[in-house]
Amino acid sequence: MVPAGLSLILLQSYFWVPTYEEQSRGNAGRLEEFINASIGDASILNPILSADSASSEIENLIFEGLIDRDENLRFRGRVAESWTVSEEAYFFINTTRPVPGSGDEDVEALMAHLHALRNRPESLPETLRNVFGNIREISLVPARSETLRRQVPPAAGRDAVDRTIRVAAPPQVKLILRDVDPNLFTHLSEVLGSDYFSSFQPRRHVSVSDPIAETEFDRLAEELLPAVEHNPVIEFRLRPGVRFHDGREVTARDVRFTYEAIMDPKNLSPRVADYEPVKDIQIIDPHTVRIVYKRLHSPAVGTWAMGLLPEHLLNEERLRQEALRAGKDPAAFSMRQSEFSRRPVGSGPFVFREWKSDQYIILDRFADYWEGAPNYKRYIYRILPDLLTQEMEFYAGTIDSYGVQPYQVARLKQDSRFQNFSGTSYAYAYIGYNLRRPPFDDPRVRRALSMAIDVDRIIDFVLYQQGERTTGPFLKQTESYNHAIAPVPFDPEAALTLLAEAGWHRNADGRLEKGGQKLQFTLITNSGNDIRKSILAIAQDAWKQIGIEVRTDLVEWSVFIKERINKLDFDAVVLGWSMGIDPDLYQIWHSSQTGPHQLNFAGYRNPEADDLIIRIRQEYDFGRKVALCHRLHAIIAEDQPYTFLYVGKWTAVLDRRIVIREADPEGRDRFRPIQATRTGNYMFTFNQWTKLAEVPQFDK
């Protein structure tokens, strides 16, 4: 319930706000600024560290990546003006297998055979002709010897200490490919022998100073001397003259620094999983960077949409000096503690000006932005936790955009003062469980909790039918989503049966107990989101009906993220994921990503799911990737680490006086209406938006 005094204050604030027309006539500057409203503040303005939508929204204006996607979802250059994708592939020469057709086992015979196939492919079947046509160069890497120090698990009765490892690697064949070929070695087996690669024995070329377990020795040898190796390569060519907001040019050094900052364990970046497959980053010249991967990684190009960090402001020496000024230990000081995250410097279209916590963030347009300065001079991000206040201020014209609520959609769509955009969200809502804690470690309990909730009721009465059921972790609009998976049915009686199987039975008071312990927990979400607050109440009531005692809590957004989610301090949580197009679920669902500040905060672990996630990342064939995604969807839906709720439908509303301004061939201004891309991104052309005093007449 809202206290009467607070209601009076809100109404008073509303009635004394000047109208949009009054603001436009009295303050021309209001036409030059875009004001957005949010229920929650950003948490940290550093793209390699943040994991919340509020921070991301601001970072996308301040920082620029090497690439992004255009209105048709094709990659386009940003800081990078062009790029190429190729592959370096390697395999060790297996001297235990003779070269086909010659019977020889020496290196020269093998190399001659490969060159002959590449130079005279006409005798080969079409598939192999394509394989050898894709090979640009064949060369030999000489045999090498090296000595390493490595701590490995001990053999029985031995202590875990560093071992001296001697490697005598045989010669290796290096193939430079024009395009990545995931099936290269399968096809090469057709000309070298079906077991040529599988029969290579790396342990013959490795020795260890102290005995270790046989299985560990085999694993170590295969790690040091893999029989075959795929090394996809991306070479980016940067645009000359792209500058950070302080005037320093963006170079290949900043690309490499951003990668190194992500991988630095002190920074606790949630992005590590995207960049761990990188083997090496080579600076060719100030505007060329070459990125070599250690294995197949199909999402590779898309990861370089990450906003680039300025090395000159965040390098080790600058952080050391900042730590000393703050009286902190430089050895323990990381980018997370740096003031940069409160006063960021990027190379995007807007420059950071001011951040007043829980009130506003102000950005100014960057006059030297490489693509041309935005039309708006200023972008203001206001934190207004109360949705009624947001609506009132939108009608009054003191904000230009806010999160339209489902119950407002029909009314706002009919208002002739506004233009509206709508579509199915690239996101889904869920109740996530902390699988580290009982009773959520039992899949029967999780499924029972899902069966007790009437999700259709949420869609009808909370979303006003602005949503639809979802069953798993992929975007419903993509082919990765498995439509054969049926939603968990609403069936409280079946839920009680499952709970009984798990040992939970009702006591005399109707409460579920097991071994004298009540089934009780706390369900939390962030404050300021009325939809999640309603889901909290519906879930609490549904679970109460079957004898579960559930407490609920609303937590301010930044505290919710920093103290509860990042620190894994929760039982169950109502949240949502905003998803990208690529079906890479590694960060959210792989078992290696369950630590603090990582995104698998539910603690989900399933070996088959892990294997599928890796295979999806390494699969370049679209059809095979879709099949793997469908299987992964089925496994996660069966395990129910989340109660998958719904995919929402979104509506955005803007004043009709906000339009796109561009120059005609003679340099004169012309205006056209804002149009959403086919994916529903109505802000794709935001840098070209402008606000006029009157609605213009558009050319037909």
**Does residue 119 lie within any of the structural domains?**
yes
- Average pLDDT on 61-83 reads 95
- The reply to whether 565 and 641 lie within a common domain is yes
> What is the tens place of the pLDDT at every residue in 207-219?
988 778 888 888 9
Examine the domain organization and report whether 541 and 439 are in the same domain.
yes
Q: Which residues on neighbouring strands pair with residue 169, listed in sequence order?
A: 144
Q: What is the pLDDT averaged over residues 467-486?
A: 95
Which residues constitute the domain of residue 433?
427-456+472-645
- Given this model, what pLDDT does residue 20 score? 42
Residues 607, 692 share a domain: no
Domain membership of residue 476 (yes or no) is yes
Same domain, 672 and 576: no
pLDDT higher than 90, residue 528: no
SS3 at position 107: helix
Confidence class for position 320, pLDDT limits 50, 70, 90? very high
Domain assignment of residue 253, yes or no? no
Local confidence band at 668 (pLDDT 50, 70, 90 cut-offs): confident
Q: Which residues pair with 140 in a beta bridge?
A: 173
| pTM summary value | 0.83
Give 336's DSSP letter. Answer: G
- Is position 126 within any domain? yes
- Cβ proximity of 445 and 502 under 8 Å: yes
- In DSSP notation, 391-429 reads HHHHHHTS-SB----GGGHHHHHT-TTEEEEEEE-SEEE
Of the residues 189, 210, 232, which one is the last residue of a structural domain? 232
Task: For residue 700, name the pLDDT band (cuts at 50, 70, 90).
Answer: low
Q: Name the domain count of the chain.
A: 3
> To the nearest whole percent, how much of the chain has pLDDT over 70?
94
Assign 234 to helix, strand or coil.
strand
**What average pLDDT score do residues 72-95 get?**
95
Q: Which of 105, 103, 115, 168 is nearest to 140 (CA)?
A: 115
Write the pLDDT tens digit of every residue in 213-256. Answer: 888 888 999 999 999 999 999 999 999 999 999 999 999 999 99
Is there a single domain that holds both residue 112 and residue 151?
A: yes
Which residue, of 216, 232, 248, is where some domain finishes?
232
Q: Does any domain span residue 278?
A: no
Q: Which CATH number is 607's domain given?
A: 3.10.105.10
Q: Which pLDDT band holds residue 153 (cuts at 50, 70, 90)?
A: low
Bond before 439 cis per omega within 30 degrees: yes
Q: For 113-127, 136-150, 242-256, which range has the lowest pLDDT when averaged over its residues?
A: 113-127
Same domain, 486 and 576: yes
Q: Are residues 530 and 572 in the same domain?
A: yes
Q: Compute how many other C-beta atoms are within 10 angstroms of the C-beta atom of residue 669.
A: 11
Q: How many CB atoms lie within 10 A of CB 7?
A: 12
The pLDDT, as a whole number, for residue 412 is: 83
**Domain's final residue, options 600, 619, 645:** 645
3-state secondary structure of 323: helix
CB atoms within 10 A of CB 11: 12
Q: Is residue 694 part of a domain?
A: yes
Residue 641 within any structural domain of the chain: yes
Is there a single domain that holds both residue 559 and residue 696? Answer: no
604 shares a domain with 668: no
Owner of token pair 């041309």: 372
pLDDT digits (tens, 9 = 90+) for 342-392: 999 999 999 999 999 999 999 999 999 999 999 999 999 999 988 889 989
Q: Based on the fold, state whether residues 594 and 664 are members of the same structural domain.
A: no
| pLDDT value of residue 325 | 96
Question: What pLDDT does 14 receive?
Answer: 31
Mean pLDDT of 553-577: 95
